[in-house]
Amino acid sequence: MIMKKKKIKTKVKSGKSLKDMAKKGFRGYPIATVACYGPDDKVATKVAVGIVHSDDESDPIDMKKWFSDTTDVRQDREINLEILEFIKESGAKSVVISESIMGCPHEEEVDYPKGSKCPECKFWANRDRFTGEVIQ
């Protein structure tokens, strides 16, 4: 199964984009991680940006999330400008972006009970969130 990838196109006045920042590779810590989520593998309705300050951390120290019910967050200029500003304010030297939608935008234990499947996103119920492949 081939999944189409949408690119984040927004640039700030300096000409920088998230994609450009990620292309530079590892440039040191802190690292900004950018992951998109959606009800299926076509539309991203949530983007989460985490800031990891050192190699010793397994979870981000700072995190911010953006949501949209009307547009794909990857194509929303305002959201992308806010993401760039958040990354700049964090002092991140490196940026890593997931290449595809990483699963359901709803959170286990927040939006639905732990150990169960999201009742809103049937597409992800039996899929690997990294590959999109159907699993049993």
Residue 43: which CATH number? 3.30.420
Q: Note down the domain range covering 22.
A: 18-124
* Domain count along the chain: 1
- Please state, in angstroms and rounded to a whole number, the distance separating the CA atoms of residues 129 and 109: 18
Using 50, 70 and 90 to split pLDDT, how confident is the model at 59?
confident
For the cut 90, the answer to whether the pLDDT of residue 130 exceeds it is no
Ordered strands of the 62-67 beta sheet: 62-67, 46-52, 31-37, 94-97
In a domain, 13, yes or no: no
Using 50, 70 and 90 to split pLDDT, how confident is the model at 8?
very low
Q: What is the pTM of this model?
A: 0.83
